[in-house]
Structure 1
Amino acid sequence: MSTPFNTKCMLYLTSVLILSCMKFVLATNFYRDFDILWGNGRGNILNNGKVLMLSLDESSGSGIQSKRAYMFSRIDMQIKLISGNSAGTVTTFYVASEGDKRDEIDIEFLGNLTGDPYTVHTNIYTKGKGDREQQFRLWFDPTTSFHTYTITWNPFMIAIYVDGTPIRVFKNMESSGVPYINELPMKVYASLWNADQWATRGGAIKTNWTEAPFITWFRNFKARGCVWMNGESTCNSGSSKSINQDWYKQKELDLSRNEMLKLVQHKHMVYNYCNDFNRFPLGLPQECH
């Protein structure tokens, strides 16, 4: 016969085991991690929370927002983009704070005609100011299978990766007077919407609504970060393991990834604001130097 003490121990161990299993099973769960922000039924969570589908038709697109906010994070999302004619559409995956003086790290996929490549449009906002666009052509077809897109944001640098390959780095240059993202917590967003006034060839190619609904798929969301709780980052409170992880301590790319970054920017970058002298006739932004 079990004593009350042994019974309590068994119940505790059982509950720990159940919680551990739940953590494993629920590692990726859009029900748990996100709210459908808009779309009136055009965003759907499927397969017991493992898959997200966002759709766009002539009436509306759709979007989601993470339940948690982060002050520094590594965010991974696997995405399969709209196949066929996606001209005029924009699929987004980004992190952003709230308010007019928002901070934001953007990845936007600009659709195109069938057979033409997507353009990956990136931008970084600090204190409500963006204008830091870099654009790339993907070196694979992002519509036939899922690929992993990553945003890493720590006290030293911001980096954007595609399947583990860095495509963009923005370092903390506050010591030189360049604002950095380190004051406001940011949530994770994904959306699908129509922007045919500018998205494809500067708006020359419009969305073909006869091919709607347009659908983008998301899965395997992972967030390793400093969660914002009760007005404080868990990293500051000492209750987070994130501060001991490589992504948090990284001050620059290692040699091999730096070579990968140079190669991608040489072969696949199609626009860099730091080379646009017409846009900045009074001088390029300070970080470009």
Structure 2
Amino acid sequence: MAVSLPPLSMLFVFFVFYEVVSFRITSTPRFDELFQPSWALDHFIFEGEQVKLKLDNYSGAGFGSKIKYLFGKTTIRIKLVGGDSAGTVTAFYMSSDGANHNEFDFEFLGNTTGEPYLVQTNVYVNGVGNREQRLNLWFDPTKDFHSYSILWNQRQVVFLVDETPVRVFTNKEKQGIPFPKDQPMGVYNSIWNADDWATQGGRVKTNWTHAPFVASYTGFEIDACECPLSMAADESARRCSSSEKKYWWDQPVMLDLNPHQSHQLLWVRANHLVYDYCTDASRFPVTPPECDHRHHP
């Protein structure tokens, strides 16, 4: 079956646009400068600049950033588990701490052989989530590495796949809707078993005869405002929310999608979105307030 791709002209314009406005605060391809294992070190495989995480019926594995950040962009290149990956979840996300935490999620939901991965995104603000969207991808994410990014500034949170925006969460504080802007967040990656819900609502369980399930990571980048652990949250917020617009992500051109990106987002939603909490009347008889009068989906 033929699969359409985002127009190359759109991708080219975005790459040029990004390179022109970027002022890199932190950027390095080395895993050990940015990250450290957070659990199950015996389920890690280190191969040069590539890190692999294993999931078996004993444990999954995960790693996290050494410090936290407030605004900026984080990118990682991932090759997902191939073959029968039903029941597994490979996650790339940002999160702060505590019950009232903020969180931005990419969750890659495994499936049986030959069926597409579903990519679930979610946004938590002050501990409240339930903002799931799911899409399938326009490529096989198990055959090669692809980049997944989260761009975060005071105006919007943008989820990107190979620099194509697939979701935007816009700041609507003027309408009384909370926006994540004052809690530094770590960057995390993990693989784990979630066969109670991950594949077809939990109907398809993990087949452990296919273990170990291996996800591969490379291209580690964090271009963001650093918040050392010794720095208080309010001090971090002042430091990273400068009114002088000294950070590249606060430049006016970064505060909204440009026309090309907007077209890309519309293309993704028209061709690949399979679930949006905003239109799920069974879960939300009253439409969530951030879904009304949205500038961006």
User: Normalised by the shorter chain, which TM-score bucket?
Assistant: 0.7 to 0.9
SS at match of 1:206: coil
Name the aligned partner's letter for residue 257 of structure 1.
Q
**Distance of aligned partners of 1:235 and 1:52 in 2 relative to their CA distance in 1, 3 Å threshold:** farther
**Residues in 2 aligned to 1:152 and 1:233: alpha-carbon distance in whole angstroms:** 18
| Secondary structure in structure 2 of the residue aligned to 1:233 | helix
1:40 is displaced (CA, Å) by: 4.3
2-side partners of 1:104 and 1:248: how far apart?
23
CA-CA distance at 1:183 after TM superposition: 1.1
Q: Partner of 1:209 in structure 2? A: 208
- Measure the CA separation in 2 of the matches of 1:234 and 1:55: 36
Distance in 2, matches of 1:247 and 1:145, equals 33
Letter in 1 for 2:205: K
Task: Pick 1 or 2: higher relative contact order, CA cutoff 8 A, min separation 6.
Answer: 2
Map 1:164-175 → 2, pairs under 5 A: 164-175=163-174
Work out whether residues 109 and 118 of structure 2, in 8 Å CA contact, stay in contact via their aligned partners in 1: yes
User: Matched residues in 1 for 2:245 and 2:162: separation?
Assistant: 22
How big is each residue's C-alpha offset from its partner over 1:225-269, in whole Å with a ceiling of 9 and x where there is no partner? 111132333972799x99331566422100011011011011100
> Judging changes above 3 Å, is the alpha-carbon distance between structure 1 residues 221 and 235 closer, same or farther for their aligned structure 2 residues?
farther
- 1:1-289 alignment runs, 5 A limit: 27-47=28-48, 50-229=49-228, 230-231=231-232, 232-233=235-236, 236=239, 243-246=246-249, 249=252, 250-281=254-285, 283-289=286-292
- C-alpha change, 1:33 and 1:237, in structure 2 (3 Å) is closer
In 2: Cα distance, 1:219 partner to 1:247 partner: 27
For 1:261 and 1:41, locate their aligned partners in 2 and report how far apart those are by CA, in whole Å. 40
Residue-by-residue CA offset, 1:152-191 (whole Å, 9 max, x unaligned)? 0100000000001100000001111111101110000000
Misfit runs of 4+, over 3 Å: 232-235, 241-244, 246-249
Contact 2:182–2:237 (CA under 8 A) maintained in structure 1: no
Partner residue, 2:18:
none
CA-to-aligned-CA distance 1:104-135 (integer Å, 9 cap, x gap) = 00000000011110000000000000010000
Taking a change above 3 Å as real, the CA distance of residues 234 and 226 of structure 1, as seen in their structure-2 partners, is: farther
Task: Give the superposition deviation at 1:278.
Answer: 1.1
1:35: how far off?
1.4
Give the TM-score normalised by the residue count of structure 2: 0.84
Q: Displacement of 1:45 after TM fit?
A: 3.1
Cα RMSD of the aligned pairs, angstroms, is 1.9
Cα distance, 1:193 vs structure 2 = 0.2
In the alignment, is the contact (CA less than 8 A) between 1:31 and 1:45 conserved in 2?
Answer: no
What CA distance in whole angstroms lies between the structure 2 residues aligned with 1:234 and 1:175?
A: 19
Q: In the alignment, residue 52 of structure 2 is paired with which amino acid?
A: M
Identify if the C-alpha distance between structure 1 residues 41 and 247 changes in structure 2 by more than 3 Å, giving closer, same or farther.
Answer: farther
* Distance across 2 between alignment mates of 1:119 and 1:68: 30
CA gap of 1:235–1:75, structure 2 versus 1, over 3 A, is: farther
Secondary structure of residue in 2 paired with 1:41 = helix
User: Which protein is bigger by CA-based radius of gyration?
Assistant: 1
Aligned residues: 260
Structure 1 residue runs of 5 or longer lacking an equivalent are 1-25
> Against the structure 1 CA distance between its residues 238 and 162, is the aligned structure 2 distance closer, same or farther, given a 3 Å change threshold?
closer
Between the aligned partners of 2:136 and 2:245, the Cα distance in structure 1 is 32
Deviates more, 1:28-37 or 1:162-171: 28-37
1:32 partner letter: E
Amino acid at match of 1:43: F
SS at match of 1:169: strand
Residues 193 and 178 of structure 1: is their aligned pair in 2 closer, same or farther, counting only changes over 3 Å? same
